[in-house]
Structure 1
Amino acid sequence: MSQNQDERAAQAGPWVIDTREIGHRAGSSRAYARSAPAPAGFGLDMIKVPEGEPVELDLLAESVVEGVLVSGTAVAHLSGECARCLDPISDEVEVEVRELFAYPDSATDTTSDDDEVERVVDDLIDLEPTVRDAMLLSLPSAPLCSPDCQGLCSGCGVKWAELAPDHTHETIDPRWAALRERFGGTEEEK
């Protein structure tokens, strides 16, 4: 790679691939192994890749007739909170990435809509939207600290796992409270 290509790739950042490194001849390819910092918004409300956390990319970029086919994996650490008990959780996500980035004026211009195919712009490929979308689709919308998490008691807010098995909060419908006062409660209370 020439010094100009090195400088251009460095300016573009770790999420960007310069397709001139691969060439436009179908069949040529190049492997990429790099770490890119996660931007803000790389996740969902309850679980996400923290901003700045490294996303490990192991990708192969292959030149094809219509553009560059990028395939491989992206791995990152997740942090968030359990949707039932709100305890902090951490996990790791690994996603498969496979996306065609079309060259300008390729056959894809006439065979697909603009939003169906990613594009090579000024010989550069921005991987961040593709990796972000793949990760977002793989994340649980309601992450759990464990599959059998019982959550919180709606009456006192304590975790069910920490409460006695007979824990209850008896509430009486105010419409029936007058009858309870008049007749002295239930048989169980006497």
Structure 2
Amino acid sequence: MSTHNTPTRPDAASPWVFSTRELGRRPGNMRTVARTVPAPDAPEAIGLENVIVVPAGSPVELDLQLESVTEGVYVSGTAAAGLTGECSRCLDALTDTVEVEIAELFAYPDSVTEETTDEDEIPRLVDERIDIEQVVRDAVVLALPLAPLCDPDCLGLCAECGGRRADLGPDHGHETLDPRWTALRERLPSAD
């Protein structure tokens, strides 16, 4: 008998949940599935909040292969989605796409893998169903840039005035005067 807590039962109505019933527990049986699912909303959003995310409700394209193996069901394939965020240099809105590889074993109940690993190490099959939402979320988050850019050559913002350097032109600059010269500047007539 397992010493681990019983995993949460997947919601059969969720588009992220797949039935493995027709695979049985016969190693080598496989099935290919293609499905478009809506991205979840906060707090379960996919991405880095306030940096770059898959917008809630936008399509996530899943192209997966489910294969029965000795210890469970091995899920492999890809997940692709659109992204929205903010450039970390100039703060402009940006859009991008991400495609990630999925490769995850879902352990059978009472298998050696289920008995010898913690639930947070390897996901479990529950009632012959798998929920791949967390697997996709983890893969996407690992693929995202921590500092997304609208363009690799983005110049960012001017530290003095806050204007976009790309819009300010090459001759943009600010006069910086050493504060120690302030008293002398006040005594000299201005050359306007």
Q: Among 104, 108, 115, which residue is 2:113 paired with?
A: 108
> What residue in structure 2 maps to residue 181 of structure 1?
186
Q: Among 50, 57, 61, which residue is 1:52 paired with?
A: 57
Q: Does 1:136 align with 2:137?
A: no
Tell me by how many angstroms 1:161 deviates.
1.0
Check conservation: 2:102, 2:135, Cα contact below 8 A: yes
Tell me by how many angstroms 1:181 deviates.
3.4
> What residue in structure 1 maps to residue 6 of structure 2?
none
Deviations 1:106-157 (A, max 9, x none): 1113432332111111211001000011000001111111110000112222
Distance 1:184 1:96 in 2: 69
**Which structure carries more helix by proportion?**
1
Q: Does 1:68 align with 2:69?
A: no
Check conservation: 2:33, 2:63, Cα contact below 8 A: yes
Distance 1:83 1:110 in 2: 45
Distance 1:109 1:127 in 2: 17
> What residue in structure 2 maps to residue 43 of structure 1?
47
List runs of 5+ in structure 1 lacking aligned partners. 1-8
What secondary structure, in the 3-state scheme, does the structure 1 residue paired with 2:31 have? strand
RMSD over aligned Cα atoms: 2.2
Tell me by how many angstroms 1:180 deviates.
4.1
Q: Does 1:90 align with 2:95?
A: yes
TM-score normalised per structure 2 = 0.84
Q: How does 1:3-18 map to 2 (within 5 A)?
A: 11-18=12-19
Tell me by how many angstroms 1:173 deviates.
4.9
Tell me by how many angstroms 1:87 deviates.
1.5
Tell me by how many angstroms 1:179 deviates.
4.6
Q: Among 153, 162, 168, which residue is 1:163 paired with?
A: 168
Q: Does 1:124 align with 2:129?
A: yes
Distance 1:34 1:73 in 2: 11
Distance 2:71 2:184 in 1: 79
Distance 2:81 2:169 in 1: 38
Higher relative contact order (CA 8 A, sep 6+): 2
Percent of aligned pairs with the same amino acid: 60
List runs of 5+ in structure 2 lacking aligned partners. 1-9
TM-score normalised per structure 1 = 0.85
Paired amino acid for 1:30:
R
Q: How many residues align?
A: 179
